[in-house]
């Protein structure tokens, strides 16, 4: 049986590939559970400092599997917690997750990319929330994360018109952190992920937690949280090492403590 999720390790980077090319990487329970299991493994591995999720050159993921869900009724979707059981795992991991998006990231695919900490896109990427065309609406963060990323006007436009946004527009709007020619996307993303993973793991986690706080609290609360976490970073051996290395003009060697 084809494995719908492929998992690789590149040094300190964990790579997860969605692998349903025959269906534009449409998401089903197996895919989402596979991603959840891979994240559990990477989370438990002290050697991994950053995770990358990608698809193939045609699609990151063209949304939830429409054939699979077309006959669902409310009771089934609710009782089985459709897709949800591992869906939030991307969000709850304490290690940074980069979505490397080439081709289509539509519906649940766009929502999954937005759940990651940042999106790196190929110039071929296309983002959209076309659920309205199917007689339904975004159900996994599209109406919530998209306005936060690109503002209300563009989010309304995408969710209500079902139009796709190309990579250049997505980068300009703030959805995409970095844009690459398609043939360089994965290499460049792995390189960036390796740079992140080379820093001190506790500091990586402190920064992720603090940036996320910006979305979940008032500015004053967020600043206070950041200040407390910043102060606590002085308790790290890696802080002593990082600053000593700078003063001694050598490369820091972090031990994740
Ligand atoms: N589901 C199933 N199969 C799909 C698919 C999808 N979403 N997208 C594409 N495919 C399949 C096509 O049926 C086709 O299969 P065959 O006919 O070859 O067997 C194959 O992939 C190639 O697609 P096309 O022939 O259509 O290729 P094109 O290049 O012409 O068009 C396209 C590519 C991506 C523009 C088009 O396929 C398309 O519009 N796809 C549907 C996009 C869409 O509507 N996505 C939104 C789905 S709703 C939740 C989590 C997630 C969700 C909800 C809740 N919870 C946690 C609660 C998500 C919901 C959605 O995403």
Cα(59) to ligand 1 centroid in Å equals 10
CA atoms within 13 Å, Cβ hemisphere of 129: 23
pLDDT at residue 21 greater than cutoff 80:
yes
pLDDT band at 86 (very low <50, low <70, confident <90, very high): confident
Question: Mean pLDDT, to the nearest integer, of 175-186?
Answer: 98
Does the active-site annotation cover 108?
yes
Where does the pLDDT of residue 100 fall: very low under 50, low under 70, confident under 90, or very high at 90 and above?
Answer: very high
Over residues 112-125, the pLDDT tens digits come to 999 999 999 999 99
**What is each CA distance from 71 to 68, 165, 184, in whole angstroms?**
8, 29, 40
What's the gap in Å between 177 CA and the centre of ligand 1?
25
Using 50, 70 and 90 to split pLDDT, how confident is the model at 80? confident
pLDDT of the residue at 192? 98
State the average pLDDT over residues 123-137: 97
* Selected residue with higher pLDDT from 1 and 46: 46
The confidence score (pLDDT) of residue 234 equals 93
User: What value does the mean pLDDT take over residues 101-105?
Assistant: 98
Q: What is the pLDDT of residue 110?
A: 98
Q: What is the mean pLDDT of residues 62-69?
A: 95
- E-strand stretches of 78-117: 97-101, 104-106
Query: Which residue's alpha carbon is nearest to atom 15 within ligand 1?
Result: 23
The verdict on whether 139 is a catalytic residue reads: no
Q: What percent of the chain has pLDDT over 70?
A: 100
Q: What residues does ligand 1 touch, defined as CB less than 6 Å away?
A: 23-24, 26, 62-67, 82-84, 87, 104, 106-108, 111, 130-131, 134, 139-140
Classify residue 62 by its DSSP letter.
-
For CA atoms 123, 102, 36, 137, give the dihedral sign. Answer: positive
Please indicate whether residue 111 is annotated as part of the active site. Answer: yes
Average pLDDT, the chain: 96
Instruction: Read off the pLDDT band of 126 (50, 70, 90).
Output: very high
Cβ-based neighbours of 202, under 8 Å, separated by 6 or more: 233, 236, 238, 256, 257
Q: What is the pLDDT of residue 105?
A: 98
What pLDDT does residue 85 have? Answer: 78
Res. 101 pLDDT band, cuts 50 70 90 = very high
Assess whether 64 carries a catalytic annotation. yes
What is the pLDDT at residue 28? 92
């Amino acid at each position: 049986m084809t494995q719908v999720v492929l998992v690789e390790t590149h040094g300190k980077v964990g790579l997860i590939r969605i692998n349903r090319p025959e269906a534009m990487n449409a998401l089903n329970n197996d895919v989402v559970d596979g991603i959840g299991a891979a994240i559990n493994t990477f989370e438990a591995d002290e050697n991994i400092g950053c995770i990358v999720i990608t698809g193939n050159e045609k699609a990151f993921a063209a949304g939830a599997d429409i054939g699979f869900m077309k006959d669902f009724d409310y009771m089934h979707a609710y009782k089985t917690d459709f897709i949800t059981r591992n869906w939030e795992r991307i969000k709850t991991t304490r290690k940074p997750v980069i979505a490397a998006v080439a081709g289509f990231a539509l519906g649940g695919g766009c929502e999954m990319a937005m759940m990651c900490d940042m999106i790196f896109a190929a110039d071929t990427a296309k983002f959209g929330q076309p659920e309205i065309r199917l007689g339904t609406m975004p159900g996994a963060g599209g109406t919530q994360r998209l306005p936060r990323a690109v503002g209300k006007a563009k989010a309304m436009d995408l969710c209500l018109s079902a139009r796709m946004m190309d990579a250049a527009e997505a980068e300009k709007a703030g959805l995409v952190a970095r844009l690459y020619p398609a043939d360089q996307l994965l290499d460049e993303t792995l390189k960036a992920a390796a740079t992140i993973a080379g820093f001190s793991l506790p500091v990586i986690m402190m920064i992720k937690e603090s940036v996320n706080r910006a979305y979940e609290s008032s500015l004053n609360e967020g600043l206070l949280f950041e200040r407390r976490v910043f102060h606590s970073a002085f308790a790290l051996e890696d802080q002593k090492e990082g600053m000593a290395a700078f003063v001694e003009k050598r490369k820091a060697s972090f031990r994740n403590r």
